Structure 1
Amino acid sequence: MTQAPRYRDPATLLAELGIEEKIAMLHQHQPAVPRLGLAAFTTGCEALHGVGWIGRATVFPQAVGLGATWDTELVRRVGQAVSREVRAFRQDTENAMQKNDVAEKYPMVSLNVWAPVVNLLRDPRWGRNEEGYSEDPYATGEMAIAYCRGLRGEDPRVWRTAPLLKHFLAYNAETDRDIASATVPERVLHEYELPAFRRPIEDGAVAGVMPGYNLVNGVPNHVHPLIRSALRAWDPQLAVCSDAQAPSNLVEREKYYPSHVESHAAALLAGIDSFTDNSEDSAPTIERFTEALARGLVSEADIDAAVGRVLLMRQRTGEFDPETDPYAGIRADVIACAEHTALALEAARASVVLLRNEGGEPPLAGLSTSESSAESTSESSSESSSESVAVIGHLGSRVLTDWYSGTLPYSVSIAEALGAAVPVDGSDTVVLRSAGGAEFGPFKHVDWSTSVQCPNAVHTLQLLSSGQYLSVGEDAVVAASAATPDGWVVRELFEFEEVAAADGIALRSNATGRYVRVGADGDLVADLEAPSDVFTLQVVASGLDEAVRAAAGAEHVILVLGNDPHINGRETIDRDGLALPPHQQALLKAVHAANPATTLVVVSSYPYAIDTAIPRIVWTSHAGQELGTAVADVLTGRHNPSGRLPQTWYASADGLPDPYDYDVIGSQWTYQYSRREHLWEFGHGLSYTAFEYSGLQVARSEVALTVTLDVANVGARDGAEVVQLYTRSLDGERRPLRKLAGFAKVQLASGGREQVAFEVPVADLAFWDEAAQEFALDEGRYEVLVGASSRDIRATSIVPSASVAM
């Protein structure tokens, strides 16, 4: 039998590397070592809800939308599809890039995927709300396990991709995220924050973890002792990769250490294995660790431990033994293939949540739509145009992506899917004039302000003739050159500052902070530190008036409101409230007044506090390429909605705690503790049919509660019910009002019935005993509650404490 090359074994390989080579491997971009047959390697490929940042790829619903499916098997299949496309980009880069019309070959596609995000959606104002699955740790853990299993693959030996969880720990705010400290009480840490990481790690399908930028209780996450005492206790082999520039931030922003040599050494000792710092320039990292080793701040054994864990992650993906890699045959033809396209539609449909529905029937029952564009690329799914339906709103004719999305291979908007003859934007058409008489436009003007006094009071101006957005170039010239607001720095956003003395406005670039002037050649230029030129914004066509006319003349109105994922809530930007932008609120009020037969469709990355007087309301996340088809199928009744809210929709932001107050117990965050007024509770979602619960039984053993019940579809339509199991301690102090302990999505034909069973480990009923520094059970009664949401409880059973002793 031929002996395998020595570099197939990470331990042997590590022993043959020189110290300089090992130090170089501490950086994100590990160099090749030709003498050992070791290729270059980079940690990190974005794969949150599809392959991101590389080119055209299947785009699935945002993570919060996947969380709304409450369907772990579906989420597992999405993870499987994403990992297949990652493999295709890695293994067939040339053909993949030709397919995606990318001129330059992408330098490295890593099989270490930086997904999923398991940060809990505690605060709906969090800018990155779209990236998480749920406000509940159990639900988040279940979704993360499912997605990671899909990403990992089925082979017991080789991983299709190596998932990495983000962002450890208590990372739930963007404002000053790299210098602010989250205050996390001990019970909240153990009962709420840690379980979302622990469950998927202990499941065995997680290869790594990324710490968050923030501090927790005054200690930066990148040097937090919980990396070793928690993460490495659950899995000693986890590879811990830093977030971008976070190691240098320990000195430059957080000023936690006096020098980079000391900070990098401390991070290595705390458990960081791969340093994502200074982009592709590894020289600073190498210099810092070379000096740290010379000064005795770290040892070669410390370096070996870190490098060894990353090498192990590489080995798991079959890199060191390609001849026996079961996934080596994946090629570019799987990218956005028919199977993945169909799955994208299935996921988009499953993620739609029917929030309110007076009358019980589908809002557009009887409206004809054809089969999905999953089989017809980007063509509309409507068989014929329907003039009886008016689709109104800026988002009605658009399918938007977010920062971590891939490029859409095609898209179907809600207006296209419903066959709306002329979708009405609802935004004003304006002309911009300078005091000197220069005229620009006409533009479609969208006011994205979230309140009267708002730090995110931003506007976009879209040239009517071309559809391109005004954007500030690197040379400061302002031109209609962007297809959509996008990028890490969104250069298409402008702030309007009133100049009362001149009865006009000054334009300021939100991206650069510079004010706009008219250049000598007549172009707009944003290069002034102080306002100079004054402009007027003349409305030449009122979007509100146009929307009212369209609404009044239609039999049905579909009003589509929500957010652009690059504006007012995204990475680095939190929201300051929960309200819709004032323009959208005005549109909602006017359109509903003009036509009571209005259905509101909210397309958003997060909850809003909205007017619940509207008789029919649907919510979806930005659901990817099949957004329009999915929403149309729900509105027409072709698909019976089964999505359920993964987080609480509060009636108002008034009284919500400070974003960095993580005390969910004392401050009454989330459905577990909140007694605030809610629009819709955690787990809420309606169906076009009705379900009955009966026969609840709870059997007890020393280690678990076995809960069984019957669920019947007593309505006239087939449908899926999400059966939710909650528990609560009746005699303990400051315990959750209820706590999710299980859920199951059950598909039932009309008249069908099925028995649903849950196993609840007794350990899941415990609370953190600060005095004993361990989990313990209350002495008293426990209640098991089952129902259709956290408030819609259909059956309960009391369990004596003697029956649940640990």
Structure 2
Amino acid sequence: MTAQTPPFRDSQLPFAKRIDDLLSRLTLDERVAMLHQFGPAVQRLGIAAFRTGQEALHGVAWMGPATVFPQAVGLGATWNEELVRRIGEAVSTEVRAMRSRDDRVGLNIWAPTVNLLRHPLWGRNEEGYSEDPKLTSAIATAYTRGLRGDHPAYWRTAPVLKHWLAHNNETDRATASSSVRPRVLHEYDLRAFRETVEAGAVAGVMPAYNLVNGRPNHVSPYLAEQLRAWTDQDLLVCSDAGAPSNLVDSEHYFDTHEEATAAALLAGVDSFTDHGTDNAQIVARVQEALRQGLLAETDIDAAVRRQLSVRFRLGEFDPLLDPYADTKDFDTPAHRALAREAAEQAIVLLKNDGGLLPLIQEGIPGGEGTTTGEGTPTGEGIPGGVGPRIAVVGLLADECKLDWYSGTLIHRSTPLEGLYDRFGADRVDFAEGVDRVRLKTSDGSYLSVPRADDAGEEVRGAGGALDPALLAGRTDLPPLTSDDVGTELALIDWGGGVLTFRAPDGRYLSVAEDGFVRASADQPGGWVVQETFRLEPRGSQEGGHGNGHLLQHVGTGRYVSVTADGVKVADENPAVLELELTARGEDAVAHAAASADVVLVVAGNDPHINGRETEDRTTLALPAHQQRLLDAARAANPRTALILTSSYPYAIDTTSLPAVLWTAHGGQAAGTALASVLAGDVSPAGRLPQTWYASDAELPGLLDYDVIGGRQTYLYFEGTPLFPFGHGLSYASFAYADLAARVDEESARVTFTVTNTGDTAADEVAQLYGRPVSPSVPRPRRELLAHRRVHLPAGTTTELAFELPLSALEFWDVAHGTRRLEPGGYELLAGASAEDIRLSATIDPAGTPPAPRPVLERGLRSADFDEQRGAEIVDRTKLSGDAVTPAGPDPAGPDSAELVYRACDFGPAARSVTVEVAGEGTLELALDDGPAIAHLDIAPTTGPYAYTSVTSPFAASGVHDLRIELRGPLRLAHVGFSG
């Protein structure tokens, strides 16, 4: 360092001092400009431009070719933190390698998603790890540690957790409010974030679009009160795209963008993702907020400081010391092997009655191979053994699907390709099962797809082969026309009336910006999918049916029209089309199945259709077309296995299916991994990270975020699931024994043994649950405390030991606003799933006895109820606090709700009650199950935040349950009592 080198360039100084120095050198305008996602360079100081945000949920996304790992829910299904940490290392290594050749690749990673998979119809189910906060935080912590790297000072990448907070709906996601009571907040939704942040490898969080308790997440007081209280490290809060503007434009929470921007910044948002790469709007809003006195320079400095903290940790200002600066590893053999290992470990065997699987074994047709003690098949013919004759059928049988957050595949493997490689193409028959149709117009002509070579050589890749990736969205390809013969199209029905059409050469019909319909997409995809259509009976818009159909393009809402220039979508003159069915998919499936030894039906979803970001699912049911294919296969051959490849659970009838297997979309090695498990080369050991329900009727409402009151997830669900949380079968069998537990002042040490009693090596996922024996408040039926995935050769035993902090047994005591360990017995349950418990023991740790609510001293915060009926939590003010209001019309009366507060201590005598309330209506208070003893009429206030205090006589003494009935559009914030 020379005398002229500024201190912020001095690597010998602590980061904090260097940040102080750099802040002091930046002008106010330069600091304000840094608040946008795309912060410009400061050339006079030699500081480069910086962008927040690089998607890398299960591989580097949106930046071209990269290693693609299984979807996040698939990584959750591995229950393997060590594996996921290695995946994080590989992903961040590829980020660095790509950054070295393209500075558009960012080092601030927007991943992982730690939203809990509370509701299986959530469209973004694929992005989360589990419905359980313990498992979610364990997997997320592993991934962030891999992304961060292990250098004590410098980070390989800087991960940001998504999406803060209580976000499980795409329906009205920018305007819907999640009503989250304090116990659910602290025991469930905050927990996955907290445990991951406290592990120390997280750079920050991204708030979600939705509101929580009536207040947008982007102005949430929990950012300061909770998030930043969990760590001494500077945490960067990055807004979601467009969310700052939503505060005014869609949520109408603030009157002006200046107010909204200032409020978000004061709440803790440090980087504003809005208006794409153009920072002018955000800069103008911040500057105007400063001029109006809504912000001070110190507020700007606090946000910029947190940004700079991340940039220093990423080594930006110490390029010679940055241990990751010269990273070049990309698409390495090790990364490819890891992608395959992850895909194998994510596969969950749900059912295997009669031992249909594995396919290579003694006693099944064609299964001449035998297995060694390590589970590796041996035999004649195909290396590793000869399997049966296999029919692989279904819409996903020859697909390797990507989702919105996938990178571009360098390698791909479909189930069909994997089975060809493993068993030989001569032993595998394939039937996709799509219907074949021609679309006939009212003048007798047919829609026709021009030949691929009509598009010209410019759409061809190396060697002259058609490159489908170059086709999607092109406007220089010839559109569809009509002629006397037409083109036979594959019609794929994804359920819910959503269809895709595919030309004979594999290209999907797609609509480009000019409105013309072309066969120009290799797969459905994009933010707005341009490859999906709906058929409507002619005249349905007027309530009639008629003959023929109109073909609506889902992406634009317009109808297909045949013009002199070609087929296009338009607002007028829609074509009336008849579908001429030339081949039924069920017939092809039945034909293939009838001559096979084993049938594999590969069903599931396309991650861009019917359940994705911006779109929730409407049902757990398998789409009708796929159900028909399954039925046809099963009718033709009872030795039929269902392989579900999907982003989420289904409700399926498994009664007559001998085998069922599930995997999330498994990335580039999906097919190879699947074939390895089906053959028996690898014993399946994935476990379900969420409950699979038997029907839609068992699901709560999508916007019911009260997992306790709604008895949701495996924690509280009292029905019989189709498949329980933690479930998964193996080709081996395991015995559990010798459970022992020892308790000291702060922890419990638990040990037990697991023995592989089978004849093949396999992994087992041992799970440890806990529950209080006699809880004083509703507690989980059982709750995951720890787990471990272990590999056991046949006949071997291992002892597992877990050190559990007693804090894991605490709950949030709403009566006193703190976590509390209740005294009394706790069962410890060891087993193979939440419903497959093999061992149990009881411990009796010292706890804090319950105490009644001191309502005379502290009163009651309205949201701290124990039970409620018809109530919704809303914002007390725009800055902080909660209130309670009736959620809407109720059977007990219009706009009514009831709140119950248990064990309220009114002392020797409470003589009056005072409520802090806004709006208008009535309140009635009663003790225990008795009649009302106080009635308060609330005169209208001037607005939802205009609170008034109303007092009424109230006579009570001792400890009682308190019931409060709310009627009318009022907001109750607080209830106080005086003697």
Q: TM-score range by the shorter chain?
A: over 0.9
Distance 2:412 2:83 in 1: 21
Distance 1:679 1:156 in 2: 46
Closer/same/farther in 2, CA of residues 437 and 10 from structure 1, 3 Å limit: farther
Distance 1:659 1:314 in 2: 39
* CA distances 1:276-331 after superposition (whole Å, capped 9, x unpaired): 00111100001001100011000000000001101110110101100001111112
* CA distances 1:68-92 after superposition (whole Å, capped 9, x unpaired): 0000000000000000000011113
8 Å CA contact 2:194–2:230 kept in 1: the answer is yes
TM-score, normalised via structure 2 length: 0.77
Letter in 2 for 1:789: S
Distance 2:849 2:545 in 1: 75
Letter in 2 for 1:126: W
8 Å CA contact 1:729–1:780 kept in 2: the answer is yes
Secondary structure of 2:261's counterpart equals helix
Distance 2:707 2:626 in 1: 31
User: What is the Cα deviation at residue 437 of structure 1?
Assistant: 2.2
Closer/same/farther in 2, CA of residues 382 and 247 from structure 1, 3 Å limit: farther
Secondary structure of 2:488's counterpart equals strand
8 Å CA contact 1:27–1:274 kept in 2: the answer is yes
Name the residue aligned to 1:438: 445
Map 1:134-213 onto structure 2 (within 5 A): 134-213=130-209
1:54 matched to 2:94: no
Name the residue aligned to 2:450: none
User: What is the Cα deviation at residue 779 of structure 1?
Assistant: 2.8
1:117 matched to 2:103: no
Name the residue aligned to 2:528: 489
Runs of 4+ in structure 1 over 6 Å off: 381-387, 803-806
Residue from 285, 308, 327 that aligns with 1:330: 327
Name the residue aligned to 1:390: 391
Name the residue aligned to 1:411: 412
Secondary structure of 1:15's counterpart equals helix
Name the residue aligned to 1:83: 92
Distance 1:257 1:797 in 2: 55
Letter in 1 for 2:165: L
What runs of 5+ residues in structure 2 fail to find an aligned partner? 10-17, 362-366, 370-381, 448-486, 539-543, 851-979
Name the residue aligned to 1:479: 518
Distance 1:387 1:799 in 2: 51
1:587 matched to 2:629: yes
Name the residue aligned to 1:447: 493
Residue from 43, 49, 58 that aligns with 1:40: 49
Map 1:269-308 onto structure 2 (within 5 A): 269-308=266-305
Letter in 1 for 2:683: N
* CA distances 1:613-652 after superposition (whole Å, capped 9, x unpaired): 2110110000001101111111111101110000000001
8 Å CA contact 1:169–1:221 kept in 2: the answer is yes
Letter in 2 for 1:486: G
User: What is the Cα deviation at residue 384 of structure 1?
Assistant: 11
Distance 1:703 1:545 in 2: 64
User: What is the Cα deviation at residue 21 of structure 1?
Assistant: 0.6
Residue from 769, 776, 779 that aligns with 2:823: 779
Closer/same/farther in 2, CA of residues 665 and 108 from structure 1, 3 Å limit: same
Residue from 730, 743, 759 that aligns with 2:787: 743
Name the residue aligned to 1:423: 430
Distance 1:618 1:44 in 2: 36
User: What is the Cα deviation at residue 5 of structure 1?
Assistant: 4.2
Secondary structure of 2:703's counterpart equals coil
Distance 2:533 2:623 in 1: 15
Closer/same/farther in 2, CA of residues 48 and 261 from structure 1, 3 Å limit: same
- Greater strand proportion: 2
Distance 1:154 1:537 in 2: 60
Name the residue aligned to 2:37: 28
Letter in 1 for 2:351: R
Name the residue aligned to 2:805: 761
8 Å CA contact 1:363–1:616 kept in 2: the answer is no
Residue from 482, 494, 498 that aligns with 1:458: 498
8 Å CA contact 1:762–1:804 kept in 2: the answer is no
Name the % identity. Answer: 52
Name the residue aligned to 2:672: 629
Distance 1:630 1:368 in 2: 22
Secondary structure of 2:265's counterpart equals helix
Name the residue aligned to 2:639: 597
Name the residue aligned to 2:650: 608
Residue from 538, 560, 565 that aligns with 2:580: 538
Name the residue aligned to 1:226: 222
Letter in 1 for 2:577: F
Secondary structure of 1:159's counterpart equals coil
Distance 1:410 1:27 in 2: 36
Secondary structure of 2:431's counterpart equals coil
* CA distances 1:728-771 after superposition (whole Å, capped 9, x unpaired): 01111211000000001111111101110011101110000011
Letter in 2 for 1:769: D
Residue from 599, 607, 612 that aligns with 1:565: 607
8 Å CA contact 2:89–2:147 kept in 1: the answer is yes
User: What is the Cα deviation at residue 368 of structure 1?
Assistant: 9.7
Letter in 2 for 1:276: T
Letter in 1 for 2:836: D
Distance 1:692 1:633 in 2: 25
What runs of 5+ residues in structure 1 fail to find an aligned partner? 94-106, 370-380, 451-456
Q: How many residues align?
A: 771
Distance 1:689 1:361 in 2: 14
Secondary structure of 1:359's counterpart equals helix
Secondary structure of 1:303's counterpart equals helix
1:312 matched to 2:356: no
Letter in 2 for 1:196: A
8 Å CA contact 1:49–1:60 kept in 2: the answer is yes
Point out the more displaced range, 134-143 or 358-367. Answer: 358-367
User: What is the Cα deviation at residue 805 of structure 1?
Assistant: 9.2
8 Å CA contact 1:238–1:309 kept in 2: the answer is yes
Distance 1:749 1:344 in 2: 23
Name the residue aligned to 1:103: none
Secondary structure of 1:323's counterpart equals coil
Secondary structure of 1:407's counterpart equals coil
8 Å CA contact 2:743–2:845 kept in 1: the answer is no
Name the residue aligned to 1:678: 721
Distance 2:699 2:268 in 1: 35
Secondary structure of 2:83's counterpart equals helix
Letter in 2 for 1:698: A
Distance 2:573 2:395 in 1: 30
* CA distances 1:74-125 after superposition (whole Å, capped 9, x unpaired): 00000000000000111133xxxxxxxxxxxxx6111000000000000000
- Greater helix proportion: 1
* CA distances 1:10-47 after superposition (whole Å, capped 9, x unpaired): 22111100001111111000000011110001000000
8 Å CA contact 1:368–1:382 kept in 2: the answer is no
Distance 2:771 2:710 in 1: 19
User: What is the Cα deviation at residue 804 of structure 1?
Assistant: 9.3
1:355 matched to 2:401: no
Name the residue aligned to 1:104: none
Q: Give the root-mean-square deviation of aligned CA atoms.
A: 1.7
User: What is the Cα deviation at residue 353 of structure 1?
Assistant: 0.3
Distance 1:792 1:498 in 2: 50
8 Å CA contact 1:702–1:804 kept in 2: the answer is no
1:265 matched to 2:304: no
8 Å CA contact 2:237–2:268 kept in 1: the answer is yes
1:619 matched to 2:615: no
Distance 1:531 1:257 in 2: 43
Letter in 2 for 1:392: V
* CA distances 1:160-181 after superposition (whole Å, capped 9, x unpaired): 0000000000011100100000
Distance 1:171 1:747 in 2: 36
Distance 1:384 1:35 in 2: 68
TM-score, normalised via structure 1 length: 0.94
Closer/same/farther in 2, CA of residues 125 and 382 from structure 1, 3 Å limit: farther
